[in-house]
Structure 1
């Protein structure tokens, strides 16, 4: 993505927020999530066509190529649906002939896969790569060997939720890009990057009326988990959208009808300190609440609206107390009582687990759910991240 940054539209398969934030930092272009669990296939096709507006599109996969097939949400599912050529990155450490067997397994495991090329990672030397390359080219006439990546290269830092968003200095990214691409044949890569757009339905979503209302979106380095299409959808549906940076102590406009606080980080000491003294912002949020206007908080937004997270005092607009654990409490796709599918990944949990809320979250085909959304008059918060374009009519009662 860094190499093609001037002409690329980045995409992320699956529900992850952190990778798209890196994509946007690298490409200076918003990255779009394509998720065939949260949206249906026609909707994902429409979304891909809508945003494929650059010379090249690059989709980052999710986990291993077939992981997520049980939820119809793997890289295999999405690339097959869109008929996009796939490059497999394989760890070559300590192997050579076995890698050819792995490729055979990947190629034959499911029909209709779009695997066209391979890059080998963690390679110790040119001679190591030649051993692998000779075997793969002997065994396959339909897999292009694009090259290899040296082992022991510098990497990005990570946090307990994923890659560290602060570790994004352009100088470091540029050096890493050059090192990664040093032994990769980009001409071969471009030769397989052929794509023919498919016909899609005009608008495969339930119609949503336009609202003559002003919505304020709290979005900054703390509250950073925002699907780009959700932002675009809000701009299409509301007469005015204002983005508010809480860290910079920006105030919520007095004429805003709705406040939407997106997910991200507020529970850690570092994140909390960034907003601890943003008193003008906090007072404007309290004013909004006192005037009985709608406030919608998603994940970190839910925590921020609560009383506290351990010893960190929050806004006190929802009568809830949370604690931060050392292991995730929820992770993965969930369905709720409203018929919405979304994603949750958090280490915090409600201290009073008997607290009754608005709806529960369930794993697919399970009736064993726990409450994850809570309401107090005009204030609503939920742990569930979802996409608005196909779910807005189910959640609008919490916003309007």
Structure 2
């Protein structure tokens, strides 16, 4: 499997559009998203037809390399979309795109947004063109004259140009407060990928090298247990590695809180993040789901909830006009905040619970605009990050809910122990 990276000098340069174009044009290509992102991998998966994986050493530890190795038999290429700019990290450790490209020996394409520059684009870009840089893809040029001005210094310095994508409203991917829209909301996603791919010269593939990673042992399938995962327009933020791990604990089944579906004979329930704030009315009317989750919690069935899932398990949400009843396992209130919380997190467990023991440390990340007010006891203290109020991890019986998202595969032994596997 040959690897190619996609990066840029800054965020917002068009990395995702170019990545979608490459996935469309390369055929059997594994999408890999560097960093703690949910929406980009969903878009990648829709175009590639191969489920995208995340690579993040803060969340996954030394196992981050396995993201590619496990998929080596299903793809001819792996396309790695970087996070932010090439050298940006946002982590207490080096988790920059450059780190991963160096560690894996990835050659990369540099996407250069030229919407506000001309000849200066080269001088901005040259600090990002290391030995492994294949060349550049010019994005958002406004006219043929503009393009000629942009390209002149690149050509004078013998920098290969592999693509020239004009500014076009038809190539824009719509965004909202937590990022891009999800695939089910973008009717033209395949058309965007197809159109963008027309502007790229794919002969760069002749310069790519095979992955350095070796095979990874396959994980055994789970037994007769049922692990239910909430999945619909309100809850869809999950790491592929987490879902893969859950399949080793039992049969993974999906249910939709929006459609008032209830888990049947569940050994565990997992409710991830998403956009519950866009669906409060429907969620509040889903009495069967709400009642079922309360009953499972009272019966001691393990329930894990993250971010949007945390919000859903609270008593109610207030949008400034209307109060919406939610599941009510916990007694707090959810409100919308105009302030973004975005950070890696490190949590210190302060009290034994069904999943972690006092003194253990857990790494995750948080990304939300909501705020939870809940006086209930928390079992984590934030060493890094904000959490609910400087602490995180509301617990009731075998139900645990936090703002922090984690990669479940890193804490697999604890999960297996929790459901008696």
TMscore range, shorter length:
0.7 to 0.9
Alignment map for 1:75-154 (pairs within 5 Å): 75-107=97-129, 114-140=132-158, 143-154=159-170
Which structure is richer in relative contact order (CA contacts within 8 A, separation 6 or more)? 2
| 1:47 equivalent in structure 2 | 67
| 2:3 equivalent in structure 1 | none
Structure 2 stretches lacking a partner, 5+ long: 1-19, 349-359
Shift in Å, 1:342: 1.0
**Secondary structure of the residue that 2:371 maps to in structure 1?**
strand
Instruction: Tell me the TM-score normalized by structure 1.
Output: 0.85
Aligned match for 1:378, one of 390, 395, 398: 398
**Secondary structure of the residue that 1:183 maps to in structure 2?**
coil
Change over 3 Å in CA distance of 1:272–1:339 after alignment to 2: same
| 1:304 equivalent in structure 2 | 312
**Secondary structure of the residue that 1:375 maps to in structure 2?**
strand
Structure 1 stretches lacking a partner, 5+ long: none
Report the aligned-residue RMSD. Answer: 2.9
Shift in Å, 1:122: 1.6
Deviation readout 1:53-100 (Å, 9 max, x if unpaired): 212221111111111075321211111111111111111134333222
Q: Aligned partners of 2:25 and 2:107: how far apart in 1? A: 17
Q: Aligned partners of 2:300 and 2:407: how far apart in 1? A: 26
Alignment map for 1:1-400 (pairs within 5 Å): 1=20, 3-4=24-25, 6-40=27-61, 42-52=62-72, 53-68=74-89, 71-107=93-129, 114-140=132-158, 143-154=159-170, 155-165=172-182, 168-170=185-187, 172-187=188-203, 189-192=204-207, 194-200=208-214, 213-236=225-248, 238-253=249-264, 255-266=265-276, 268=277, 270-310=278-318, 311-328=323-340, 330-337=341-348, 338-352=360-374, 356-363=377-384, 370-394=390-414
**Secondary structure of the residue that 2:406 maps to in structure 1?**
coil
Shift in Å, 1:26: 2.2
1:5–1:26 contact (8 Å) kept in structure 2: no
Q: Aligned partners of 1:80 and 1:326: how far apart in 2? A: 37
Deviation readout 1:300-356 (Å, 9 max, x if unpaired): 11111111122221111112223221112x21211111322111011222325x654
Change over 3 Å in CA distance of 1:292–1:87 after alignment to 2: same
Change over 3 Å in CA distance of 1:120–1:360 after alignment to 2: same
1:36–1:78 contact (8 Å) kept in structure 2: no
Shift in Å, 1:370: 0.8
Shift in Å, 1:198: 1.6
